[in-house]
């Protein structure tokens, strides 16, 4: 499959049909500049055509109310208004869901089913997703705020592609025959780990569903999935389609709720065999601690980032500007792997800065359901206010505000594309994960210097390198302490490419063959041989 471009993460938080630069920067930019105004966000928002059907918890194959009867609102980030009230799960509901998943694993057909049949169900599900592409895309944009074109032409097709990829792996998981000293037959078995607890973020709800659920199902596990409270709707819709495709009851359970209640109960549950989490590093620490203190369950953690984007003096500046813009501003800047530290060589710094500023000023901001819009609202008021505080911090620390720096409109959570120059490494905007449309541009002089500065961070999720010199590219790609290094590109994802971080960006890898290891146990079986013909 060709490489795809789209980012991912969670509490953010990661590809199928390419999100080409023509989509990223579509239209006559001069005609779109007006979108960068208060008027854009004050326009009457477009009413999505999709209807919200699924708002309850999914436990043991049935949609049910929460045990407490409580609900919480999921909001339209364009307006702050309520889309729907969703069942609020807590510890009691997690207990119910885990019990259903445990019974489905211990007694149900899924782990005992042939791998080929599991594959067929996942492929039927992918076909159903394609049939419901527009509804899923509309629901994702409505609940999250990302541009509809991004949802419909990239993320939902990528979602179905990921499930086809994992379906293809289902009947190709096998162990080895191992030679041993002495008269023994030794084989290894790769067995499903059991009940998997999974916690996904709000920035890419559908894709993170696929990254987690796909490999867990392909390897024969059962699941309790907790959605982000900001974006619960598409996971419930997708789970319904999975059951329509033939998934047995109890194999996938979906609980919507809050982190301190439902999330903590899942991470610390004694009958959950494995936990997977995508989100902030601080929350990841809590999840890891709960997993260890309960039954010492293994944890896969995909966490925060502060990725360097390095523009060398020989780079194609126009392409580098566009890619750096995409690396930071894509998905409203709400990407764990965003290229949020743009290092530019001093010889091309001024040219790059002027072009980066012009590109940001031309970025179209407004209702994500409108054609031609590149940037929708931030996810919610909390994230919105956090980003504005970081912008204020950048100004107060004497970075140069080149453009943006303010909200757009009086309704919803829109923020102007913002560019800072003269950024220093010790500033908060260069150290912390802002998770918003704020580009920080830093100057460097020599290769060893930028390597050291790029690696001086607690994170290590991703990095970008722009150069036409293969030796420089090789040096940087090996020297940078990051799980992914993109050379002359950024945010290229594929179902087969592993994704994860060094240092405090996480533990383990998602996607590709590596993701299967998260949901498998390895068992060695040793059988004594009597008078073997050979060893």
CATH code where residue 465 lies: 3.40.309.10
Residue 356 within a domain: yes
Dump pLDDT digits (tens) for 220-232.
Answer: 999 999 999 999 9
Q: 22 or 385, which is more confident?
A: 385
pTM: 0.91
Asked if residue 317 and residue 273 are part of one domain, the reply reads no
Is 24 a residue whose pLDDT tops 50?
A: no
- Cα 7 to Cα 137, 195, 487, 491, distances in angstroms: 16, 28, 16, 5
Asked if residue 165 and residue 117 are part of one domain, the reply reads yes
What pLDDT, on the 0 to 100 scale, is given for residue 535? Answer: 83
Residue 26 within a domain: no
Least confident stretch, 22-31, 349-358, 397-406: 22-31
What pLDDT, on the 0 to 100 scale, is given for residue 403? Answer: 98
Average pLDDT, the chain: 92
184 - beta bridge partners? 528
Asked if residue 336 and residue 222 are part of one domain, the reply reads no
Asked if residue 415 and residue 338 are part of one domain, the reply reads yes
Burial status of residue 478 (CB atoms within 10 A of its CB: 0-12, 13-18, 19 or more): exposed
Asked if residue 461 lies in contact with residue 304, where contact means CB atoms within 8 angstroms, the answer is: yes
Is 19 a residue whose pLDDT tops 60?
A: no
Asked if residue 248 and residue 132 are part of one domain, the reply reads yes
Asked if residue 237 lies in contact with residue 257, where contact means CB atoms within 8 angstroms, the answer is: no
Residue 254 within a domain: yes
Q: 43 or 40, which is more confident?
A: 43
Q: What is the mean pLDDT of residues 279-296?
A: 98
Residue 6 within a domain: no
Nearest 5°: the CA angle 139, 141, 143 is 65
What pLDDT, on the 0 to 100 scale, is given for residue 42? Answer: 52
Asked if residue 396 and residue 254 are part of one domain, the reply reads no
Give catalytic residue positions.
302
The pLDDT-based confidence of 38 (bands split at 50, 70, 90) is: very low
Asked if residue 466 and residue 340 are part of one domain, the reply reads yes
Asked if residue 359 and residue 290 are part of one domain, the reply reads no
Dist CA 228 CA 386 (whole Å): 18
Asked if residue 270 and residue 325 are part of one domain, the reply reads no
Is 492 a residue whose pLDDT tops 60?
A: yes
Domains contained in the chain, number: 2
Least confident stretch, 37-51, 431-445, 505-519: 37-51
Is 37 a residue whose pLDDT tops 70?
A: no
Share of the chain above pLDDT 70, in %: 92
Dist CA 485 CA 330 (whole Å): 18
Is 41 a residue whose pLDDT tops 70?
A: no
The pLDDT-based confidence of 423 (bands split at 50, 70, 90) is: very high
Asked if residue 316 and residue 404 are part of one domain, the reply reads yes
CB count, 10 Å around CB of 296?
Answer: 8
- Domain of 186 in residue numbering reads as 57-303+510-521
Asked if residue 361 and residue 233 are part of one domain, the reply reads no
Alpha-carbon dihedral sign for residues 200, 482, 319, 405: positive
Asked if residue 94 lies in contact with residue 273, where contact means CB atoms within 8 angstroms, the answer is: no
Dump pLDDT digits (tens) for 343-383.
Answer: 999 999 999 999 999 999 999 999 999 999 999 999 999 99
The CATH number linked to 268 is 3.40.605.10
The pLDDT-based confidence of 44 (bands split at 50, 70, 90) is: confident
Residue 442 within a domain: yes
Q: What is the mean pLDDT of residues 152-158?
A: 98
Is 385 a residue whose pLDDT tops 70?
A: yes
Share of the chain above pLDDT 90, in %: 91
Asked if residue 48 lies in contact with residue 139, where contact means CB atoms within 8 angstroms, the answer is: yes
Is 27 a residue whose pLDDT tops 90?
A: no
């Amino acid at each position: 499959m060709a490489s795809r471009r789209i980012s991912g993460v969670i509490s953010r938080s990661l590809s199928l049909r390419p999100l080409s630069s023509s989509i990223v920067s579509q239209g006559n930019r001069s005609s779109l500049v007006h979108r960068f105004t208060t008027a854009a966000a004050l326009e009457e928002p477009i009413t999505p055509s999709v209807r919200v059907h699924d708002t309850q918890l999914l436990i043991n194959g049935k949609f049910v109310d929460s045990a407490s009867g409580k609900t919480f609102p999921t909001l339209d980030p364009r307006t702050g208004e309520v889309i729907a009230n969703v069942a609020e799960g807590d510890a009691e509901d997690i207990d119910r869901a885990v019990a259903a998943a445990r019974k489905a694993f211990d007694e149900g057909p899924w782990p005992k089913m042939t791998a080929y049949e599991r594959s067929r169900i996942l492929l039927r599900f992918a076909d159903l997703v394609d049939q419901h592409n527009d509804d899923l895309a509309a629901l994702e944009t409505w609940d999250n705020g990302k541009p509809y074109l991004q949802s419909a032409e990239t993320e939902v097709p990528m979602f179905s592609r990921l499930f086809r990829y994992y379906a293809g792996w289902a009947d190709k998981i096998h162990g080895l025959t191992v030679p041993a000293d002495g008269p023994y037959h030794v084989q290894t078995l790769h067995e499903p780990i059991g009940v998997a607890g999974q916690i996904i973020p709000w920035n890419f709800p559908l894709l993170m569903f696929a990254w987690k659920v796909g490999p867990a199902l392909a390897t024969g596990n059962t699941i309790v999935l907790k959605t982000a409270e900001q974006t619960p709707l598409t996971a419930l819709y997708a789970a319904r389609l999975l059951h329509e495709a033939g998934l047995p009851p109890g194999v996938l359970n979906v609980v919507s709720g809050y982190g301190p209640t439902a999330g903590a109960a899942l991470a610390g549950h004694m009958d959950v065999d494995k936990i997977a989490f995508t989100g902030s590093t601080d929350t990841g620490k809590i999840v890891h601690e709960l997993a260890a203190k309960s039954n010492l369950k293994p944890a896969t953690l995909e966490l925060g980032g502060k990725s360097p984007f390095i523009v060398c003096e020989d780079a194609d500046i126009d392409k580098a500007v566009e890619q750096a813009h995409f690396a930071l501003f894509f998905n409203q800047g709400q990407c764990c792997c965003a290229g949020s530290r743009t290092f530019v060589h001093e010889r091309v710094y001024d040219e790059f800065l002027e072009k980066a500023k012009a590109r940001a000023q031309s970025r179209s901001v407004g209702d994500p359901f409108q054609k031609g819009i590149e940037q929708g609202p931030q996810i919610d008021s909390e994230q919105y206010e956090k980003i504005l505080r970081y912008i204020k911090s950048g100004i107060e620390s004497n970075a140069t505000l080149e453009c943006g720096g303010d909200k757009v409109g009086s309704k919803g959570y829109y923020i102007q594309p913002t560019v800072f120059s003269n950024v220093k490494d010790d500033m908060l905007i260069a150290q912390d994960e802002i998770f918003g449309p704020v580009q920080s541009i830093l100057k460097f002089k020599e290769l060893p210097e930028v390597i050291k500065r790029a690696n001086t961070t607690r994170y290590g999720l991703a990095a970008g390198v722009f150069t036409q010199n293969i030796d420089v590219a090789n040096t940087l790609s090996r020297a940078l302490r990051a799980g992914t290094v993109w050379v002359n590109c950024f945010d290229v994802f594929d179902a087969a490419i592993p994704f994860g971080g060094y240092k405090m960006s996480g533990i383990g890898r998602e996607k590709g063959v590596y993701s299967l290891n998260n949901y498998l146990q390895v068992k060695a079986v040793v059988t004594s041989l009597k008078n073997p013909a050979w060893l």
